[in-house]
Amino acid sequence: MDEVKNQGSDNVKRFLKKFFIICTLLTTLLYVYHGWWRSDSYTTFGHVKNNGSLTILLWHWPFVQSYVLEGDVCWDLFHIPHCKLVDDRSYFSSADIVVFHNRELIQGRQKLPTDLLRPEGQRWAWMSLESPAHNGNLKPFANIFNMTISYRRDADVTIPYGELLPKEEETPLPEDITVNKSSLVCWVVSNYMRHHKRTQVYKELSAVVPVQVYGRWTGKPLSSSDLLPTISRCFFYLAFENSLAKDYITEKLWKNSYEAGAVPVVLGPSIQDYKAVAPPHSFIHVNEFASVRELGEYLQELAKDKKRYAEYFNWKQWWKVKLYVDWRERLCNICSQNSTLQYKKTYSDLEAWDKKV
């Protein structure tokens, strides 16, 4: 009897031991698989939320063209950590920030998902790199967005067309900056409009000094590979913006002028706006002169004086230009700027913000 009893309890013990081991294994597997041991990650609607990462959902791509978002794009391409960039709308319920590009919204080609319940704490961001004149009527967007993403310095996330970065090492300037220069003033214009302020300035200037004009308007379009070499042969480049708006400084300055190596003559926002982002003594602002005639005369004198002309390039010894052209990089920059963002915010009148001068 005793023997039978002992055998029985041994069986129970063995069974319990096996059961315990299997349970432990299963639990461990489950934990590892879902990553539940990390306190800051949890699953929502099938998506594993990143550990301490910000999830940015782009609702639709700007201007239709999409990019590949495989792997950890922000880290792999731009070395921006803790940033998960997605364009799959099934991430809606777990995204921290949902980004909407303005153009498609005002054209009616895309709609805001106002029928979906916005998850607690999720922020909606309005994004545009256009000047206010091209943003359309934003009155219908009152009380919807929590963030603005624009080239403007007072946007929540500023994504300029370009910026300066310090060089790791000082580089000397060329002996003679003017060796390859054959034109005094150049302008590239594809969208010529008589009512543009820039057209009026161009006309007045070309009455004083020769202005070499390229671009679609002249019937002499420049291919993108010819653009910079052509401008590099000019002493001055007319970096005239098509809209005159606060902080609206485009690749006409950063790429066409600075990268090509022509001194920009700028027409756009105020001198103060340029000074805030561009190197000192690197550009000539139209407003520095009482008249366009005086501007023309100044350019002529400067081109004759190699030493004074070269002073406009001094900054290149210490600074290099960084252009922003990839939408993925612009979006990843939301994460770099996250820590300085005001979290709780609503744009009650986006139209007024956009059209503010």
Ligand X SMILES: *[C@@H]1O[C@H](CO)[C@@H](O)[C@H](O)[C@H]1NC(C)=O
Residues that bind ligand X (CB under 6 A): 50-54, 82, 121, 123, 143-144, 146, 174, 177, 179-180, 261, 338-339, 343-346
58 or 74: CB nearest ligand X = 74
Other Cβ atoms less than 10 A from the Cβ of 233: the count is: 15
To the nearest whole angstrom, how small is the minimum distance from the Cβ of residue 163 to ligand X? Answer: 22
292 or 331: CB nearest ligand X = 331
Handedness of CA 255, 259, 261, 266 (dihedral sign): positive
To the nearest whole angstrom, how small is the minimum distance from the Cβ of residue 333 to ligand X? Answer: 13
70 catalytic residue (yes or no): no
| Coil, helix or strand at residue 214 | strand
CA–CA separation, 149 and 338 (whole Å): 12
| Active-site residue, from 104, 130, 251, 351 | 130
292-299 — which CB contacts under 8 Å span 24+ positions? 292/201, 292/204, 292/205, 292/208, 293/204, 293/208, 295/205, 295/208, 295/265, 296/205, 296/208, 296/209, 297/208, 299/184, 299/185, 299/209, 299/235, 299/236, 299/265
28 or 180: CB nearest ligand X = 180
53 or 256: CB nearest ligand X = 53
To the nearest whole angstrom, how small is the minimum distance from the Cβ of residue 144 to ligand X? Answer: 6
To the nearest whole angstrom, how small is the minimum distance from the Cβ of residue 90 to ligand X? Answer: 17
H-state helical runs in the chain: 2-34, 73-78, 102-106, 197-206, 224-232, 251-253, 271-277, 292-304, 306-310, 327-337, 350-355
Active-site amino acid positions: 130
